Amino acid sequence: MSQLAAHVRSVDPNQIREITQAAWATPNAVVLSIGEPGFPTPEHVLQAAQDTLARDETGYTPNAGISPLRTAFAERVAAQTGTPVDPSRVFVTSGAQQGLHLAMSMLLDAGDEILIPNPGYPTFAMTARLLHAEPVEYPLHPENGFQPRIEDIEARITPRTRVLLVNSPSNPLGAVFSPELTRDLVALARRRNLWILSDECYEAFTYDVPHVSPLAFDGGGERVIASYTLSKTYGLTGLRVGALVTPAGLEAQLSTVMESIVSCVASPSQYAALAALTGPQDYVQEAAAHYRGNRDAASAILDSKGIPYLAAQGAFYLWADLSHASGGNIRNWAGRFLSEEGVAVAPGTAFGSIGEGWIRIALCGGRAELVSGVSRLPAPGVG
């Protein structure tokens, strides 16, 4: 067989999928390694997709998505940021991941650098490498509450740097940027002439702190591209609907690039997304309350065991320090923990080198299963 392209060979395996697939093959395993919301899809959302099929509305849509859905996304983002968002700036994507790929395709030439967080979601680096760009990590240190420091980011900017990628609320950390930090990040990008690519997958889920998008500080809307998804907000992971909010003037280029990647998102998914955004919001409110309750229950167990962790302010994950048990290799430890205790957690090294010794615990499943799994974590001084 001929050799695959070098940029494909350079992409590392996803350790989250590695441990989760092993868990799925393990009878009665407690799976806390993947962020899959577990609530039933609201009936009005399902009905909207079924009605689209019943109308036989299964042809192409505009590359950017159906007009009512673009308007609904624009209204949601405008309400969050307090700034008007014209629907022409919204592009409907096949989930946030395709949105990130689309945005990076627009912004990065081969050899360009994109600044990404460490720890950060693994596809940030994977996507950049698939586009022949170079991911450059900026550190999120435990002693700074895993928040970025402006000086650390600025020290990594070179003449080849084009994009600063930020993620708040954070996967895997559950950390949320303050308004002041968000403002300073936008100011840095403006000062150094960078694009900001803002991953806001978990914008609906913060606890006692606000979610503040960089769009709120972008002035004339010239350098921030924000990526959203309905996968987490409404539990629609399989329908694959997200959106990019972009500066004005990119419509023609975005449409061309979108055509070359997926043409358009499936029409039943788009109408289901429209129903989710414009219909009753009970799902979001109930999910947020459930995730908060799960966070508190898991945190109480970690406290009782003396296991250090980052207090989650957003998303639906807990970031816990198991360095006392991992022996310097959290990936191997996670595999042993699954085989010996029947619990899957995501090893911190799935998200970068600073994740060594840490694990990500997903809080989106049932309370009883979560409590059972977290209760099996070893306390310091206990194996």
Instruction: Show pLDDT as tens, one digit a residue, over the chain (383 residues).
Output: 788 888 888 777 788 989 999 999 999 999 999 988 888 999 999 999 999 999 999 999 999 999 999 999 999 999 999 989 999 999 999 999 999 999 999 999 999 999 999 999 999 999 999 999 999 999 999 999 999 999 999 999 999 999 999 999 999 999 999 999 999 999 999 999 999 999 999 999 999 999 999 999 998 788 999 999 999 999 999 999 999 999 999 999 999 999 999 999 999 999 999 999 999 999 999 999 999 999 999 999 999 999 999 999 999 999 999 999 999 999 999 999 999 999 999 999 999 999 999 999 999 999 999 999 999 999 998 65
Q: Is residue 25 part of a domain?
A: yes
Position 289: which residue type?
A
DSSP state of 209: S
Terminal-to-terminal C-alpha distance of the chain:
46
Among 96, 74, 92, smallest CA distance to 266 is for 92
Pair 228, 77: CB distance under 8 Å: yes
One domain, residues 167 and 272: yes
Joined tokens for residue 314 = 């957003």
Bridge partners of 320, per DSSP, are 309, 359
One domain, residues 296 and 358: yes
One domain, residues 221 and 356: no
Pair 140, 181: CB distance under 8 Å: no
| Full domain range(s) for residue 358 | 6-41+282-375
Q: Mark which of 262, 278, 294 sits at the end of a domain.
A: 278
One domain, residues 71 and 15: no
* Calculated CA dihedral for residues 376, 380, 381, 383, nearest 10 degrees: 40
- In angstroms, the CA 264 to CA 306 distance is 50
Segments in the chain forming alpha helices (H): 6-9, 15-24, 43-54, 67-81, 95-107, 123-130, 150-154, 179-191, 230-233, 251-261, 267-278, 282-305, 323-326, 330-341, 367-375
Q: Mark which of 218, 249, 278 sits at the end of a domain.
A: 278
One domain, residues 23 and 84: no
Bridge partners of 31, per DSSP, are 344
Query: How many of the other CB atoms lie within 10 Å of CB of 214?
Result: 24
Axis-axis angle for helices 367-375, 282-305 (nearest 10)? 20
One domain, residues 296 and 264: no
Largest CA distance in the chain: 63
